[in-house]
């Protein structure tokens, strides 16, 4: 799910986490994965780390949420830059092929 979102958008949740959304075939609600991202420690050998905090079907997902690209989120986290919460935009669900 995260791999498919790598070239797409991630959405701000109501709290301090982000989320990616996927359309599950046969499900009556979108499948949502909530996560946090931060700069990795130097000894890890990576630029950033991602922590998935929860994932489940979410029937009450709003139609619009603030969004940025995953690349923008990771770039800001790695460089220690603040990430502004943009205006809400229509949610686009990822469908795996």
Instruction: Name 51's bridge partners.
Output: 36
Q: pTM of the prediction?
A: 0.85
Whether 53 contacts 19, CB under 8 Å: no
What the block records as the tokens of 45 is 């050998």
The yes-or-no verdict on residue 44 having pLDDT over 80 is: no
With cut-offs at 50, 70 and 90, classify the pLDDT of residue 65.
Answer: very high
Round to whole Å and give the CA distance between 7 and 29.
23
Three-state secondary structure call for residue 45? coil
Which DSSP helix (H) or strand (E) runs through 69?
A: strand 64-69
* The dihedral sign for the CA sequence 43, 44, 48, 50: negative
């Amino acid at each position: 799910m995260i791999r498919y979102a790598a070239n797409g958008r991630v959405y701000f949740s109501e709290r301090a986490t982000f989320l990616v959304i996927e359309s599950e075939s046969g499900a009556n609600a979108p499948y949502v994965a909530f996560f946090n991202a931060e700069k990795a420690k130097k000894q890890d050998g990576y630029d950033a780390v991602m922590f998935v905090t929860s994932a489940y079907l979410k029937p009450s997902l709003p139609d619009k949420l603030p969004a940025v690209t995953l690349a923008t989120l990771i770039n800001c986290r790695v460089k220690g830059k603040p990430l502004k919460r943009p205006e809400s935009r229509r949610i686009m669900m990822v469908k795996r092929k």
